[in-house]
Amino acid sequence: MLIELDDVRRTVGLVLGRHDPNADDRLVEDLGAESIDLLNIVVTLEEKYGVSIDEVAATGVSTVRDLYDLALKSPHAAKPSADPGRPA
């Protein structure tokens, strides 16, 4: 499945019970995520996109956008194409 920033935002919002978080919101400071929430977000993204997110890198994530970037870098990630006409 293609990883899209909007979809990662929605996933974070669903796990945290927050409506429409911004890409640059910080997961802990701005959205109030606890450690179990962060774990749930990572596992949800892994299951949804079939990726494997590294523990050390996941711990260093600050914002929703960081999380998206990390998911994109993960093995087996399906990346969105810069050129919409080109298959991802």
Partner 1 sequence: MTMPPQNPAPPRASTRKLAGLEHAMRITEEHTPFSVVAVLRLAGDLSPAALRRALDTLQQRHPLLRARILPAGKEYAFHFDAERPIALDVGERPPADGWIAVAQEEMQRRLDMTAGPLARCRYLAGPSGGDLIFTLHHTIADGVSGVHLFRELLALCAGQPLDEPPDRDEGQVPAAGLFPDDYTGLGYTLAAAGFMRRQMADEMAFRWGSIGVRKAPIAAAGRCCFLPIRFGAEITNALIQAGRRHRVTLNAILSAGMLMAVQRQLYPSPRVPLRHIVFADLRPRLRRDVPASALGCFLTMYRFTTTVEATRDFWSFAGDVQDSTMRAARSSERYMAYAMSPGMMKMLFRMKAFRMGATALSYTGPLTLPTDYGRFEVTGLHAFAGNMTLGPEYSALVRLFRGELWWDILYLDSDMDAAGAQRIAHEMQAILEGATC
The nearer residue to partner 1, 35 or 83, going by C-beta atoms, is: 35
Figure out which of the listed residues 7, 46, 66, 69 binds partner 1, where binding follows CB under 8 A.
46
The nearer residue to partner 1, 14 or 88, going by C-beta atoms, is: 14
Interface with partner 1, residue 66, by CB under 8 A: no
Q: How far is CA 10 from CA 6, 14, 30, 71, 83, in A?
A: 6, 6, 16, 14, 24
Find the binding residues for partner 1 in span 2-31 (CB under 8 A): 26, 28-29
Figure out which of the listed residues 1, 2, 24, 59 binds partner 1, where binding follows CB under 8 A.
59
The nearer residue to partner 1, 52 or 81, going by C-beta atoms, is: 52
Interface with partner 1, residue 56, by CB under 8 A: yes
